[in-house]
Structure 1
Amino acid sequence: MTKTPKRNWYKEHIEPLLGRLGNWYQAHIEPLLGRLGNCYQAHIEPWLKGLWYLRIPAVVAILSVISFGCVPQTIEVYRVLALNAAEPKLSYADFQTLFSFVFILLLSFSIWYSANILIKYESGNKLCKQEQKEELKCLSNILSFVPIGSLIFGLANAINFLENFIEWILCIVVCLAVYCAYYKLIIECVFSQREPPKKDDVIFFAFIPFLMFWLFTFILIIPENPIKPILITVICLLTLVDILLFLFPGLRENNNKYITFLAVVVAVALVIISYYYLSKPELVTSVLGSISIISISFSGFVIFSSLISYVGYKYNFPILAILLISLTGFSWFDLNDNHRIRQVENPRSQQLMTLEKSFSDWKKARTDDIAKFREAKPKERYPIYIVSAQGGGIFAAYHAASTLSRLQDLCPEFASHVFAISGVSGGSLGAAAFSSLINTELGSVSLDSQKKLNCSGKLHKEVRGKLEQKAHELLNQDFLSPLLAAGLFPDSLQGFLPFPINSLDRARGLEYAFEKAWDSAYPPDSKEQKPNLLKGSYYDHWNPKKSAPALVLNTTVVETGDRLVLSPFKIDLPNLKDISSVACNAKKEDIIDPPLSTAAVLSARFISVTPVGWFNRCDRDEKGKPIQSSSRKSRLADGGYFENSGVSTAVEIGSRLEEFLRKEKEQEKIQVVYLAITDLRPQKIDRGFIELFGGLNEIMSPINALYNSRDARGFSIIDQAKYLTDPASYDPNSIFNSGFKKHYSSQRFRQFYLHNQEFTFKDGEKVISQDEKRLSENGSDKTEFPLGWLLSEPSQEAIKKLVGGSQDCGKDGMKTSNNDCVFESIKEELNY
């Protein structure tokens, strides 16, 4: 029987199929890839090469998008400028608005001009061939529009927070029209028709950012001495000569007397104006504002860096690489860390009392007051308040200062009942503001001679009391502009130097601005003028015989992650120490005696905006004396890295006071009450944030976990503190305890929420409406406050309303809030 040969399926089916696929690929795909390749070479590759060649202008354009269009603090700046511009009275904000537009246009021009320096200066450059020039010119025009486009985008974001929507749409249209006019008149009609820039032009124009740098540097770091006016005059003259030689080349080429006369008149006028403003440094940042400062710094950077980049390519010398290696190397070997903690002019070594001894003296000074309280309320205990103020930049400072000042306006005895305030980050600045105001208003009066006043009636949420108004004037300032000026100009030089210059530290910009804000509350050369306590030593702010509370300011040790506090009394516990107990103090430069402004800002050094500060730390021998041979640098960061609420330090201090009261057998007469200025725990996860960054799991998840854990840790500690202080009334399953009012008089842990929630009472129990529950769950009732150092009027007004007051807490059918009830409870305690 003949065998049937096996069929070869591969030859019969697969080979023909592969052949057809190959033919189809050659007929369709290969030509398509060829066309795509040709399209890439003809259209995309020139743009990419051009973008690489113009990478410095492109990087600055990208930075302008981030800075002017995406940062929440920038949106807050737009709100400030918009609302102040609407006021009929002329103010610095009007100049800031004008200069912001002018310097953003200057930035657009700087990007365009820098790109054209690279394009035009040498037509034979191998990286800039003749056939690429049209694409590069088009690219330079696109890059030059990016800053003004970013401004428009930022204004569009800010529109959502403004009432006059149509007016601000018109404002955006005006921005576009101004840019178009600027582009036509300045770029196309003037500079595009000029010959390629001469070497003199390039050198003079590149010298401008160098002079601008020194303008901002000298006014910030040069102390008041006879040489300062001379330096300012020289800088003004050099800048003007530079500008005049660039704008009026005829001064070099001919002797036209009219041009010469005009140039001289302009020079003299500008010197007079510049000298006036530069002799008053605070006016520079006040008039320019943060948008202008960023624009000026970007303009200088793009011009100077483009020139260096071009020279490096032309002479085949890696200037940029050398600068970057120097920047990295100096920082790697810690050669130029200039962020040493600033000290007062004549620092003193501090011999601090222990916490227990300090509290004993504080309580002794209030003996008569305690006796009066016990006589008026024999069944109640004398309240001693330990306050904690959460971190969060300027909004936390404003919230803390407003809450404490309103309590003081409501109850004049409140401050004398507060033993200490545990501050974190922005909360430290708010606490420092409150303490300084109390010392100013009541500091000269001893407790024995003070007239005892009961709490007043209601405080309306829409009206600020006397002390709250002072706190508002103190913190209603632009702290952002001085910080940016110090960071973008003097401190930017420090990275390229192999040695530290402490006066270039950008943190000092914020410290000096905080000190200068005092003049807004107590204007100099007026009847209200008072000594500026923010400039004085931190250790002078507290006297146990006076009303002002002690400031315990939290920081985080970079090397260990532990807390380290600045405290006016000695704290030397296993898990909590004050800086004086670990600092070396044998040498004058190692003594820790900072100004109050520096101490507050030291607690608020967060994520590169304000740098970590450092001091020399020493181990201790058995007698507690520092061992100088163990001296080493220790860096301190924002206290919020460890825990952002400040409650942990407050509870540790309070527990030591309670232990002391038990030893003295006074726990039945005196009680410690904790007041936490904080916020509600978020009820829902922000889905928008997850949808935006959910795809960057490998990169964003660790960063988000580290960042969000600081707030979560604070909420966890708050829950623990609630349970430890009020175990009978604390319900761990609910933020809103239904027995709130019923048990309130005995609660020893109370919170002032930044985002408050309204409710009513029915039969003594709290009732939250379905609308309020829905708003809380969705988070749509929350006003978002920027994490920065400038707060707009709408944000200030929102905080003012949310702070609360004594508003009929507990009456059936009356709408009230958590903060109202806290105010009411304190009012009831302090009426005796």
Structure 2
Amino acid sequence: MKKTLRKTRLLLWIRGSFFILGRIPFLLVLLFFGLFAFQVNDQGMDMMMAFGSMDLFHPYVLAFIGLLVIWSGVIWYVSRIALTISNLGRIVERRVRLTDSLEDPNCGRDCGLKKDHIVVTVDSAYEHTTGVLAKVIPRILGAVPYIIFIWAYISVNGFNDGRVIKVLFVLLIGIIHITYLCYRTDLLVRNKRIIKPTDARFAMPEKTDVKTVVKMQHLHSTTKFFIPAAFIGSFVYAWITASGTPSLNGKPGLVILCGLIFYTIISLFVMYISNWLRFPFFTFVLVLALLFFLPRNNNHALAKVKDQHQEEQIAARLPDSTYFESWLTYKKEKGSLFQKDSITPVFIIAAEGGGIRACYWTAQVLKKLHIAHPEMYENTFAVTGASGGTVGLSFFYNYIFERAKAGVPALSDPAFYAPLDTITSADFLTGVTYGFMFPDLFQRVLPWPIQSWDRAAFLNKGFSKVFAAHTRVNDAGSTLLDQSILTPWLKDANPFHRPAILFNSLYVEEGQKAVFSPYRITKEYYEDALDILDATKMLVPMKEGMVSSARFPVITPPGLMMQNVNGREEKFGHLVDGGYFENTAVQTAQQTVMMIKSVVKRIKPAGRIVPVIISLSYGSDTSGHREAMGAGYEAAPLAGGINTLFRWIDGVKAMSVKLDPDLNSINFRLTKFKGDRIPLGWYLSEPARKLIEKYADVNHFKFQKPYKALKPFLK
């Protein structure tokens, strides 16, 4: 009998918990988002690593803990109010005595009910359970932010190096906070600020009048001061935080917490409006946005350069083979190409995608190679990349372009690259996260586009801002990144002095590789590739080429290309991350080599010209095999397909090298040992930066193998 009774009570509590949690779906979604942001994805775990490496009283640490406390408090408040005002009984408006429901209260038999009145039986045990859960669950949910943080922090930092102090500090704050929430009413009673209330304020059915609920829950001061301050303050603080980046003091975690606070309060407004109107308000807005607003509010058009001569500049580009022939002639006349054992190497750099880890790895490898062998810069014909690899290449070579204006760059001097280290490892995630969580999310429920709210524009601005802070800014207040993507080649007396940068992207509508290039790419060598400038007749800034090669959803949106048709702009199609087509960028490098070989065969220059592909990629040195899939085993075909795709790309590259014995491809692969955490995203913690610097060392045994393979082509 007792066993059956316990089983019945357990089922009652489970049933009641699902019923209560079903009233606050928005909160659950936001909590899962917070868990993903800080614990599941590697970028969030890298933020935890950054948190662990800072002092306890560092401004970032204190701000993070403060926002964590506010998020916890807002969750408690919103869940408490939402559960009380939820329309838990859509039929039962209010409880009345049976006699009050009769047409004639004094009738004896065959009594009739008043119009719109019914008689119901109430499950008192279930009603009591839901009342208790309505009281307890907000307190449990208020503890979840602390649990998420502690879980994420320990999983990355453990208890080593004295880092346990921070997690214990947060744990202590969380215990004090939740304890206060549990005994808050008792404290108010003890201080004689209120009369001891009964648990009737948690009873079901609900009170739909918010003022009544706030009064019963003794939340007048919280509603009047704390909630408006948290709502407005979270948005303002996120904006200020995002405005202060890029920097090395990463702040994306602060913006994420601000967004969680902001949308937790928004969820209360949405639930209240839905209950007030007795209408699924959120579903209505979602359908409206998807069916009516989305086709009209695309604010993701590529940034453009305002130049009335842009069509002439685009048309003035030389075809690929003519460009290389002119480059080779210029270099030979100038005598700037070096030879090694009667061989003139021509380098083509291919940088694999992978967010900021690829960006920083690319810049670090090129830095080390140029410090040891500055002569390779003159013999580099073209560089090409995808995603973060493109960003790293662009920062590196544009930095040299910009610094060269003040004289010959000291490529062999390590001090020359110090600003570049800061540029390529800055926090680009904070700005684009703010754009994603606030203005661009608001844009989705507006029927007209606001270009400045485009979240990709925040990444654009981040690239430009950090580059301007460490290079020369012209009289117009812009750098090379803000100017036309053709500026380094068309507005220079010696355009062939600089390596060509090829920005790989993907033309979504056709599933076609698309390229921004300083020379006109032809089908003869770059088969089935779209020359974006030639197709659109529109010039974009250099930084837009970088962003368009690195538009990895969801954090950055597809970029809308506009086509210039007789002076009128028309929609042409969308660009996404170049890694979707070919993440290593080696295919574009191989096509460039094919073009070089064809030109060399035709013009028969004196001496031997040997193209050399230097591939900068990301890999893993974990021994054995990966851990078997857990809960995601049903998605094995999808994951296997993605993994197979990238293996296929690597396999094609390896096979092409074997089929062509004259194709020299040397791969500098970023080592990743088990336990290393180098995130895919737009932010690197200091420990992650140190790991990359450790592996990009000419003395590291993993770096030595490709370095030795490259040395025969260097002085």
Letter matched to residue 147 of structure 2: G
CA contact (8 A) 1:95 1:288 kept: no
CA distance in 2 between counterparts of 1:159 and 1:206 reads: 33
Q: Does 1:715 align with 2:650?
A: yes
1:167 and 2:162 are equivalent in the alignment: yes
Larger relative contact order, structure 1 or 2 (CA cutoff 8 Å, min sep 6)? 2
Q: CA deviation at 1:444?
A: 5.5
Q: 5+ unaligned residues in a row in structure 1: which ranges?
A: 1-27, 220-276, 457-463, 586-590, 619-625, 728-746, 756-778, 808-815
Check if 1:152 corresponds to 2:150. Answer: yes
1:481-496 equivalence runs, <5 A: 481-496=430-445
The number of residue pairs the alignment matches comes to 644
Q: 1:384 to 1:312 in 2, by over 3 A?
A: same
- Aligned partner of 1:749 in structure 2 is 665
CA distance in 2, matches of 1:205, 1:497: 29
Residue of structure 1 aligned with 2:351, choices 366, 389, 394: 389
Classify the secondary structure of the residue corresponding to 2:374: coil
Query: What SS is found at the alignment partner of 1:146?
Result: helix
Aligned to 1:337: 298
Kindly state the Cα deviation for residue 535 of structure 1 after the two structures are TM-superposed. 2.1
Q: Which residue, out of 23, 44, 49, partners 1:74?
A: 44
Residue of structure 1 aligned with 2:391, choices 416, 420, 429: 429
CA distance in 1, matches of 2:650, 2:86: 62
- 1:595 maps to what in 2? 541
* Map of 1:579 onto structure 2: 532
Partner of 1:776: none
2:510 aligned residue: 560
Query: Could you say what secondary structure the match of 1:391 adopts?
Result: coil
Distance 1:685 1:327 in 2: 48
In structure 1, C-alpha distance between the alignment counterparts of 2:584 and 2:237, rounded to whole Å: 36
Contact 2:16 2:129 (8 Å CA) reproduced = no
Deviates more, 1:599-608 or 1:352-361: 352-361
Following TM superposition, by how much is the alpha carbon of 1:523 offset from its aligned partner in structure 2, in angstroms?
8.8
What does 1:309-328 correspond to in 2, within 5 Å? Answer: 309-328=271-290
In 2, the alpha carbon distance for the partners of 1:171 and 1:371 equals 56
Paired position in structure 2 for 1:141: 139
Quote the offset at 1:578 in angstroms.
Answer: 1.6
1:284 offset after TM fit, Å?
Answer: 10
Give the alignment partner of residue 465 of structure 2, picking from 511, 516, 528.
516
3-state SS in 1 of match to 2:342 = coil
Is the aligned partner of 1:790 residue 2:706?
no
**1:357 paired residue number:** 322
1:36 is displaced (CA, Å) by: 7.6
- 1:535, 1:597 within 8 Å by CA — same for their partners in 2? yes
Q: Give the conservation status (yes or no) of the 8 Å contact 2:338–2:379.
A: no
* Alpha carbons of structure 1 residues 397 and 283: separation in structure 2 relative to 1, 3 Å: closer
Matched, 1:637 2:576: yes
Q: Give the Cα–Cα distance (whole angstroms) in 2 for the partners of residues 391 and 371 of structure 1.
A: 31
Measure, in 2, the Cα distance between the counterparts of 1:190 and 1:286: 44
Instruction: Decide whether the 8 Å contact of 1:119 with 1:133 is kept in 2.
Output: no
State the alpha-carbon separation in 1 of the partners of residues 500 and 140 from structure 2: 56
Q: Hey, what's the Cα distance between the residues in 1 that align with 2:660 and 2:301?
A: 39
Determine what percentage of the aligned residue pairs are the same residue.
Answer: 21
Q: How big is each residue's C-alpha offset from its partner over 1:478-530, in whole Å with a ceiling of 9 and x where there is no partner?
A: 111111111101011011112222211111222211222225534989xxxx9
Asked if 1:307 corresponds to 2:307, the answer is no
* Distance change in 2, residues 1:138/1:564 (3 Å): same
Q: CA deviation at 1:419?
A: 1.0
Return the alpha-carbon distance in structure 1 between the equivalents of residues 592 and 87 of structure 2: 72
CA distance in 2, matches of 1:102, 1:566: 45
Is the CA contact (8 Å cut-off) linking 1:61 and 1:144 kept in structure 2? Answer: no
Q: Which structure 2 residue ranges, 5 or more long, are not aligned? A: 93-125, 189-193, 195-214
> Aligned partners of 1:565, 1:489: CA distance in 2, in Å?
31
User: Secondary structure of 1:157's match?
Assistant: helix
Q: Is the 8 A contact 1:442 1:547 kept in 2?
A: no
Please give the alpha-carbon distance, in whole angstroms, between the structure 2 residues aligned to 1:181 and 1:782.
34
Q: Which residue of 2 aligns with 1:549?
A: 499
Give the stretch that moved more between structures: 389-398 or 43-52.
Answer: 43-52
TM-score by length of 1: 0.70
Cα deviation for residue 471 of structure 1 reads: 2.2
Q: Secondary structure at the match of 2:384?
A: strand
Q: What per-residue deviation string (whole Å, max 9, x for no partner) do you get for residues 606-628 of structure 1?
A: 1311111111358xxxxxxx799
Question: Which residue among 170, 173, 186 is the counterpart of 1:178?
Answer: 173
Residue in 1 that maps onto 2:67: 103
Residues 684, 582 of structure 1: CA spacing in aligned structure 2 closer, same or farther, 3 A cutoff?
farther
Alignment of 1:539 with 2:486, yes or no, is: yes
Q: Kindly provide the amino acid, as one letter, of the partner of residue 703 in structure 2.
A: N
Task: Work out the CA distance in 2 between the residues paired with 1:338 and 1:711.
Answer: 32
Asked if 1 retains the 8 angstrom alpha-carbon contact of 2:153 and 2:167, the reply is yes
Contact 1:473–1:520, Cα closer than 8 Å, also in 2: no
SS in 2 for 1:787: coil
Preserved contact between residue 474 and residue 517 of structure 1 (Cα < 8 Å): yes
Q: Distance in 2 between matches of 1:701 and 1:551?
A: 37
Q: In the superposition, relative to structure 1, how do residues 175 and 345 fare at CA in structure 2: closer, same or farther (>3 Å)?
A: farther
**Whole-Å separation in 2 of the counterparts to 1:824 and 1:651:** 22
Q: How many angstroms does 1:372 deviate by? A: 7.2
Matches within 5 A, 1:393-408: 393-408=355-370
Q: Deviations over 1:113-148 (max 9, x none)?
A: 101112345899669967623211211111111111
Deviation at 1:818, TM superposition (A): 5.5
1:119 paired to 2:93: no
The residue that corresponds to 1:51 in the other structure is 21
Q: CA deviation at 1:42?
A: 2.9
Q: Once the two structures are superposed, what CA deviation does each residue of 1:340-387 show, in whole Å capped at 9, x if it has no partner?
A: 11123557332222112222232222114558746xx5x522111111
Between stretches 120-129 and 299-308, larger displacement belongs to 120-129
For 1:541 and 1:312, how far apart are their aligned partners in 2? 56
Query: Which whole-Å CA distance do the structure 2 matches of 1:306 and 1:409 have between them?
Result: 58
| C-alpha displacement of 1:73 | 0.8
Deviations 1:727-760 (A, max 9, x none): 6xxxxxxxxxxxxxxxxxxx722111111xxxxx
Give the 3-state SS of the residue equivalent to 1:675 in structure 2: strand
| Alignment partner, residue 677 of structure 1 | 616
For residues 48 and 186 of structure 1, the distance between their equivalents in structure 2, rounded to whole angstroms, comes to 23
TM-score, normalised to structure 2, is 0.81
1:184 Cα deviation after fit: 3.6
Q: Which letter does structure 1 place at the counterpart of 2:184? A: C
